[in-house]
Amino acid sequence: MITTVLKTEHLNKEYSLGSLFRRIKINALDDVNLEVKSEQPVIISLVGESGSGKTTLAKVLLRLLQPNSGDAVVYDRIIAGEGAVKKKAAFLKSVQPIFQNPFEAFSSYRPVDAYLQTTAMRVGKLTRSESVEVMTTALNAVGLKYADVRGKYPNQFSGGELQRVSVARALIPRPNMIIADEPVSMIDASMRMNVVNLFLSLKQEYQTSFLYITHDLATAYYISDYVAVMYRGCIVEFGAARDILTSPGHPYTRLLLDSIPTITMKWDRKGFASSDIETKEFRFQGCKFYNRCPLAQSICTEKRPAPVKKGDGREVYCYFA
Amino acid sequence: MIKLTNLSANYTTVRGTVTAVNNVNLEIPDGITLGIAGESGCGKTTLLKVIYGDIGFPLSIESGSVDYGLTDEYDELITTYNIQKHWFHRITYIPQGSMSSLNPVVRINAQFFDFIKSRSQRRRMLEEVREYVKGLGLPPEAIDAYPHQLSGGMRQRVMVAMASFLKPDLILADEPTTALDVVVQKGILLLLMDLQEQMKSTILFVSHDMGVHYQISHKMFIMYAAKGVEYGDSKNVFERPLHPYTRLLTESLPTIGDAHLRKGVAGRPPSLWEKLIGCRFADRCPYVTEYCRTDEPAFTEYRPGHFAACHYSERFL
């Protein structure tokens, strides 16, 4: 059966900046339209620079922020915006978060298994003794043992292990989708792949979809089925991950790919421009990237480009794609 | 040339002392970028602190010495104990978070001249600074701004400008691009590379990102659990690594266009509180033997200028 894994329709979120008298509004999410339909669970990556609206989108999906307009659907259930499900339990079984820094996600004065237990008791409506079994299964799924975790405080774990515990916590309600906001950026390189591989195996075993938010395009390529590239609150390119990251259609995606420090090729050191007018770019009438775009022409400054559907199913928001 | 001989540094805590840099031997030629890599807690930052001479409780040097190969205006050797006089002039430091290292309530121009006392000299220098930052891709007005008015990339550029303005002999950069996005990061790294070529200074560049090191570093020093495990030219370290840890570090990273399954390194680094016997990487090493668990490998030169601390490095030659 084909389900709508993730769908956002005209999602907008406005922030105000500045003082009381010189207030400016920026659209952290600017008409975001995404749609992923699939039979199988998928991993969707959301990539972009900081300030591109990635985390805002995650927060809207997690109901930490109220969108100004539009709605979001996860597994055929409206979870944010107008007409969203009222019941908290249904919502918590749709989406669960994993945050960037596991040491900040867990209080250092509370044993980590207390978090798992609370989740099992409140969301799963289980008794104290029933929850132990659920916790054991969840911890086994991430490669840990309940006996090793029980009663321990966050400082007794390494970053990678603690991030696994937070994945286990997110698994307890058996959510349709786990939203992972930069889950590996605080973890050391040697342990990063363990967490990333865990997502791949959970996708198969638990049938959980992931929204993987990152600025690391290499891991996005490695695990994801779909990728959405964001720039200043707008989606600029969206489609199958392997296609986009091997042959980018939007000039911004190309810029991102050229900027990754790889260990296979040295950079071309000529002709590089970075942007220092971030807030202004948010308010551009036309394409938000025209200021830095090598292909920019006058039409780009006037009107926002509409998505162009390509042969391989990707959407590119560019006049010259 | 900067020479570290048997350098060990301790932190004194209520639980006892912990050796964060253990017996490091290193000879760094002048005018290169040395990349220092390793996981968090392996002693990278402590090593930089010791070289910078920022030693005070709880940090102390247990043994060994740093020889900078520099002399001051009276022809006296600069050592760890008098390098503080040469901070900002001869040796500078770019800290990790540009966000938190600038004073939020003082304009950038005032922070630029913290070390200059006379007012007339300040005024003269302000003009030079304006010219200088223009060359670094900053608008001259940025100098008159407060830190919060600048973006993260611009603030990091200001830090680079401060560290390089007086053309120091040695620049220590502690993860200068970690908090930045890839595009901004590329801008900063290209800037550092250009500056290094112009000024011929030595840069010690700490980062845990091997990709960044591949782009910028001429030589690489890999640390693991307070010890140096490999040192050599970047080309050799990346293409023909001699230590299994380096090998795992470079091989575990995914690259675009290659989707075959990658494995992370299982386990975690040993706790430095415990008494460590044998090779410190033994628990995570795929080639481990009983010998590794009892005998500590020495830091040996296997190729000219290419050192590694492993009993079985010959197999990688």
Q: What is the pLDDT of residues A158-201, one digit of tens each?
A: 888 899 999 999 999 999 999 999 888 877 777 788 889 999 99
| Average pLDDT of the segment spanning B113-134 | 81
pLDDT of residue B201: 93
Q: B237 in contact with A at a CB cutoff of 8 Å?
A: no
Instruction: Please judge whether A189 and B252 are an interchain contact, meaning their C-beta atoms are less than 8 angstroms apart.
Output: yes
pLDDT of residue A50: 77
Q: A215 in contact with B at a CB cutoff of 8 Å?
A: yes
Q: Would residue B46 count as lying in a domain?
A: yes
Report long-range pairs for B302-307 (Cβ below 8 Å, ≥24 apart): B302/B242, B303/B232, B303/B236, B303/B242, B305/B232, B305/B233, B306/B231, B306/B232, B306/B233, B306/B236, B306/B237, B306/B242, B307/B228, B307/B230, B307/B231, B307/B232
The residues that bridge with A214 in the sheet, in sequence order, are A47
| Average pLDDT of the segment spanning A88-102 | 89
| Average pLDDT of the segment spanning B7-11 | 93
Q: What residues 81-120 of chain B have any CB closer than 8 A to a CB of chain A?
A: none
pLDDT of residue B260: 79
Find out whether the peptide bond into B58 is cis, omega within 30 degrees of 0.
Answer: yes
Q: A162 in contact with B at a CB cutoff of 8 Å?
A: no
Instruction: Please judge whether B268 and A218 are an interchain contact, meaning their C-beta atoms are less than 8 angstroms apart.
Output: no
- Per residue, the 3-state secondary structure of B142-179, as one string, reads HHHCCHHHCCHHHHHHHHHHHHHCCCCCEEEEECCCCC
| Average pLDDT of the segment spanning B266-295 | 88
pLDDT above 90: residue B125: no
Instruction: Please judge whether A259 and B209 are an interchain contact, meaning their C-beta atoms are less than 8 angstroms apart.
Output: no
Q: B249 in contact with A at a CB cutoff of 8 Å?
A: yes
pLDDT of residue A276: 57
Instruction: Please judge whether B252 and A192 are an interchain contact, meaning their C-beta atoms are less than 8 angstroms apart.
Output: yes
pLDDT of residue A271: 66
- B71-86, pLDDT tens digit by residue? 888 888 888 888 888 8
Separation in Å, CA B239 to CA A38, A88, A127: 41, 54, 56
Q: What would you report as the CA-atom Rg of chain B, rounded to the nearest whole angstrom?
A: 21
Q: Are residues A71 and A9 in contact, defined by beta-carbon separation less than 8 angstroms?
A: yes
Q: A264 in contact with B at a CB cutoff of 8 Å?
A: yes
Q: Are residues A32 and A234 in contact, defined by beta-carbon separation less than 8 angstroms?
A: yes
Q: Would residue B150 count as lying in a domain?
A: no
- B191-200, pLDDT tens digit by residue? 899 999 999 9
A200-209, A228-237, B114-123, B145-154: least confidently modelled range:
B114-123
CA distance B283 to A303: 59
pLDDT of residue B212: 92
Instruction: Please tell me the pTM assigned to this model.
Output: 0.86
CATH of domain A3-273: 3.40.50.300
Q: Best interface-test mutation with B: which of A204, A227, A274 has the largest number of B CBs within 10 A?
A: A274
Tokens 């959510």 sit on residue: A175
pLDDT above 90: residue B178: no
pLDDT of residue B317: 82
pLDDT of residue B302: 93
Instruction: Please judge whether A261 and B255 are an interchain contact, meaning their C-beta atoms are less than 8 angstroms apart.
Output: no
Pick from B137, B212, B257: which is nearest to A246 by CB?
B257
pLDDT of residue B111: 86
Nearest CA to A72 among A58, A92, A86?
Answer: A58
- B90-103, pLDDT tens digit by residue? 899 988 776 678 88
A28-42, A180-194, A215-229, A305-319: least confidently modelled range:
A180-194
CATH (domain of B280) = 3.40.50.300
Q: Would residue B50 count as lying in a domain?
A: yes
A-chain residues within 8 Å CB-CB of B222? none
Q: Name the residue ranges covered by the structural domains of chain A.
A: 3-273
pLDDT of residue A224: 93
Q: Would residue B147 count as lying in a domain?
A: no
pLDDT of residue A277: 62
pLDDT of residue A260: 87
For chain A, the average pLDDT equals: 88
pLDDT of residue B75: 85
The tally of domains found in chain B comes to 1
Determine the structural domain holding residue B45 and report its residue range: 2-101+167-316
CA distance B99 to B147: 8
Instruction: Please judge whether A262 and B190 are an interchain contact, meaning their C-beta atoms are less than 8 angstroms apart.
Output: no
Q: Best interface-test mutation with B: which of A190, A222, A266, A268 has the largest number of B CBs within 10 A?
A: A190
Helix H or strand E segment including B128: helix B119-135
Q: A270 in contact with B at a CB cutoff of 8 Å?
A: no
Instruction: Please judge whether A193 and B249 are an interchain contact, meaning their C-beta atoms are less than 8 angstroms apart.
Output: no
Q: What residues 29-58 of chain B have any CB closer than 8 A to a CB of chain A?
A: 39-40
Instruction: Please judge whether A197 and B255 are an interchain contact, meaning their C-beta atoms are less than 8 angstroms apart.
Output: no
Task: Tell me the pLDDT band of A106, cut-offs 50, 70 and 90.
Answer: very high
| Average pLDDT of the segment spanning B297-307 | 93
CA distance A151 to A174: 23
Q: How many CB pairs under 8 A join A and B?
A: 127
pLDDT of residue A273: 64
Query: Does the interface predicted TM-score (ipTM) exceed 0.95?
Result: no
Q: A194 in contact with B at a CB cutoff of 8 Å?
A: yes
Q: A54 in contact with B at a CB cutoff of 8 Å?
A: no
Instruction: Please judge whether A274 and B248 are an interchain contact, meaning their C-beta atoms are less than 8 angstroms apart.
Output: no
Helix A251-259 crosses helix B182-199 at what angle (to 10 degrees)?
Answer: 50
